[in-house]
Amino acid sequence: MKRNLLILLIALISLSTHAQHFITDTAYRQKVEQAWKEKMNTVGWKFWQTKGEKPTNEEEEALKFLYAYMPIADITDYTKAYHLNNVRTALRTRKEMPWGNKVPELLFRHFVLPMRVNNEPLDSSRTIFYRELKERVKGLSMKDAILEVNHWCHEKVTYEPSDSRTSSPLQSIRTGRGRCGEESTFTVSALRAIGIPARQVYTPRWAHTDDNHAWVEAWADGKWYFFGACEPEPVLNLGWFNAPASRAMLMHTRAFGDYQGPEEVMLRTNNFTEINLIDNYGSAARVDFKVIDMEGKPVDDAKVEFKIYNYAEFVTAVSKYTDRQGDTFLSAGKGDMIVWASKDGRFGYTKVSFGKDKNVTIQLAYDEKHTPKEQDLDIIPPAENAIIPTVTSAQKAENNKRLAQEDALRNAYIATFPTEESMKNYRIPAAIPYIIKARGNWRTIQTFVEKHEGNIDRALKLLSTLTDKDLRDMPMDILEDNMNATSNEVSPRVEYEMILKPYKKFFAKVFRKDAQKFRNDPSLLVDWVKKNIKLNPDTRAMQIPQTPISVWESRITDDRGRDIFFVDVARSLGIEAQKDLVTWKLQYKKGKDWVDVDFDTSVQEAAKTGKLILDYSPTEYLDDPKYYTHFTISKIVYGRTWIMNFEEGQLDMGGGATWANTFKKGATLDEGTYLLVTGQRMADGSVMAHTQFFTIEPGKTTRQKLDVRQESEGIKVIGSFNSENLIEKDGKEVSILSQTGRGYYVLGVLGMGQEPTNHALHDIAKMKEKLDKWGRPMVLLFTNQAEKDKFEAQKGEFGNLLKNTIFGIDKDGTVVKEIAKEMKLRNPNQLPIFIIADTFNRVVFLSQGYTIGLGEQLVKVSSKL
């Protein structure tokens, strides 16, 4: 009898465990169930099949939640077993970590369970990170665990700018470097791996300077805290970006799935819920908008784009859609934005000042044939209002000690990478640059070139098509697939997609019968794609491009994935094809001409083009305006702006296109209507912008004035600084005056290892020629000897500084204290600080903290002295 009762009890416990719900809210669970069925009906049920796996009820509900909202690429490119393993790891973490029962179901579901943080490749980091971090945070509170995880992240990765493709967390560890988007993706993944809710927070673009930034928020004991990813501070809610964040217009995060949290929702899609976090960082205000047509009637489902001036473009930071009454709203920092509304090819826009405007009506008064007149626009960013938590001297000293130890650990790993010195006798000299750039992936690249030493020209041609980041994470099977393919189109990359699976030999085989026909007439391949690959009906879905193999297997993708699929198949068959990274047009080569691909037409043809000449009169300060610094061009496509991507290089943004080398003699553009935006960023962050529309007609030349507005006032004295202040140089105390001589000089106090200082030094190096021509000295001060030593170890990363650069140490903080006092700085610890002063103690320029284009500003001021 007792034995039977025991068996019954075990059975009941087993049944209870099996029936445990991942989503306890019945209505929400049913909503997820319906979304999951709709997704699988769209993608195909074969991607839900699992051999031999028997998930519990809780695990299956968690899986259904993920599949209901994940991008199609995550369903088709990764197996159900992969996702189930991550679900099991997350659920085990919740049971084993001491804070597991503290995390609310809502936060666990949306900010712990999902693997995807941004647009990175998914990997096995959750299991690996949990194994490594579990003991490290043992016995710590949630807040202390967050700080400790960030120290671990700093051991592995530090900041370095790169292209916009996001590496996976494990790829970031392998290379030891990452831009802010990768550092934050990595850190969020590490925190989620130990069961702490975390999310990547980003400002799509700064309002007071160019560029953007991403960091991390993590939840502990009922509250969200922020911090810089891989940039440990002694306390939470502290980072170099406190002040810039207080000046931002918008702060976003994307919560996976249909998130029903307390924050303001900006956009809800079938993949994510975009929420507004601006109130956590600065002073915000709400503006209500109404969109009307030419007859004054409300426009339903109009797209409303909120645009921030950044890199000489009005960049869409967030998009919303009007309701049936033509209404929408937004809360944003108290500054200026351009708000652009469009529908069915018509558009309208206006400048909006948040904090001043309350209700704004936008009429769709324009189209591609009827455009607004040119106008000047003065854009004012929000004022700084940073809240800085208190940190004691002891906390700061201990934190600095740990940072140095972590730098040493990371640098010891990086020291194992090949260098020019270590490879000076390598037998394949032409391969050396690729092996060095590969960093932690160097063995893969070296093995590849040595394996194909007998066909080295093709191997090097393949490597030459790769970006630096590609070299750092490209696996051998992708390299081999392209190397051994019959096609001479060796590049594996189309744009910034993830390259996860070999495909060239596969497509050469499956299209073997039709290959010659497609080569003779590539439009037939266009027809095949149109007939066989359907588009995801969810036009607002997150566009994580699938691998071409997965597109083939599922026969469904989005328009971006279809473009990449077409190019990859074409190249696999020996057809020259591309996605033009200036116009983003899909093209194939026929004879000597590029033919534009349009899946909506029956006939493929080359676009009709005209020429654009920009007329500009060089000035002493601005002899050659730069694209993405002083001007940009966007095409008006169906009532919306489409930036012409003339950038060059491999950094986050910017590039080498200028007025003189691209537009002075004329650039070829497709026929259509365009918007030319110019702007001059002031030292206080405001912008003197100008907009003008123009039309390109086939076979004709359009001349357009490049009007970069200039500040009309001369240099003003804005404060004072004593040039007799003492600094330490080579172990001796010397005055600044004794080093600079009489006249003007630049003085900077650096915060080594911090992103703002890295940007400042890079910007100054870019302007070396003009600043050297000015001829005045630049005094760069470190806060202590350890910071100077850190610079010496890394100075090769910052480019060539001015020939007349003087290094010293602000040993007792005398210089910073005086600048802060005389210039009335709210936070003297916010570095770097740069001034231009003279030996009569007059200050004519000040920059503090995060400023993109510092070199440009120094040139501008110096040209007027």
Average pLDDT, the chain: 92
| Least trusted range by pLDDT, from 168-177, 339-348, 355-364, 616-625 | 616-625
In this structure, what CATH number is given to the domain that contains residue 763? 3.40.30.10
Residue 157 lies in a domain: yes
Q: How far apart are CA 323 and CA 291, in angstroms?
A: 10
pLDDT value of residue 4: 56
Q: Identify the band that residue 19 occupies on the pLDDT scale cut at 50, 70 and 90.
A: low
Q: Are 853 and 837 in contact (CB under 8 A)?
A: no
Q: How far apart are CA 309 and CA 351, in angstroms?
A: 11
pLDDT value of residue 15: 41
Closest C-alpha to 319, from 268, 247, 366: 268
pLDDT value of residue 363: 98
| pLDDT of 457 strictly over 70 | yes
pLDDT value of residue 54: 87
pLDDT value of residue 290: 98
Residue 443 lies in a domain: no
| pLDDT of 27 strictly over 90 | yes
| pLDDT of 590 strictly over 50 | yes
Residue 729 lies in a domain: yes
Q: How many angstroms separate the Cα of 316 from the Cα of each of 257, 302, 310, 381, 777?
A: 23, 15, 10, 16, 40
pLDDT value of residue 718: 85
Q: Are 331 and 263 in contact (CB under 8 A)?
A: no
Residues contacting 453, CB < 8 A, separation 6+: 428, 459
pTM score = 0.89
| pLDDT of 651 strictly over 80 | no
Residue 835 lies in a domain: yes
The average pLDDT across 825-841 equals: 89
Residues contacting 168, CB < 8 A, separation 6+: 120, 121, 122, 123, 125, 185, 473
pLDDT value of residue 13: 45
Between vectors from CA 634 to CA 628 and to CA 639, what angle results, nearest 5°? 150
pLDDT value of residue 649: 43
The structural domain count of the chain equals 2
Residue 488 lies in a domain: no
pLDDT value of residue 509: 96
Residue 439 lies in a domain: no
| pLDDT of 584 strictly over 60 | yes
From 190, 205, 235, give the residue that closes a domain: 190
Give percent of the chain with pLDDT exceeding 70: 96
Per DSSP, the three-state class of 536 is coil
Among the residues of 314-467, which ranges form H helices? 393-414, 432-437, 442-451, 456-464
| pLDDT of 743 strictly over 90 | no
The average pLDDT across 656-673 equals: 93
Residue 41 lies in a domain: yes
Q: What is the pLDDT of residues 352-363, one digit of tens each?
A: 999 999 999 999
Q: What is the pLDDT of residues 523-576, one digit of tens each?
A: 999 999 999 999 999 988 998 999 999 999 999 999 999 999 999 999 999 999
Provide the terminal-to-terminal Cα distance of the chain, rounded to the nearest Å: 100
The average pLDDT across 497-515 equals: 95
| pLDDT of 282 strictly over 90 | no
Q: Which domain holds residue 807?
A: 719-862
From 190, 210, 235, give the residue that closes a domain: 190
| Least trusted range by pLDDT, from 428-432, 529-533, 817-821 | 817-821
| pLDDT of 707 strictly over 60 | yes
The average pLDDT across 510-532 equals: 96
Residue 654 lies in a domain: no
| pLDDT of 650 strictly over 70 | no
Per DSSP, the three-state class of 802 is coil
Q: Identify the band that residue 825 occupies on the pLDDT scale cut at 50, 70 and 90.
A: confident
Query: What's the 3-state SS for 165-224?
Result: CCCCHHHHHHHCEECHHHHHHHHHHHHHHCCCCEEEEEECCCCCCCCCEEEEEEEECCEE
pLDDT value of residue 559: 94
From 163, 190, 217, give the residue that closes a domain: 190
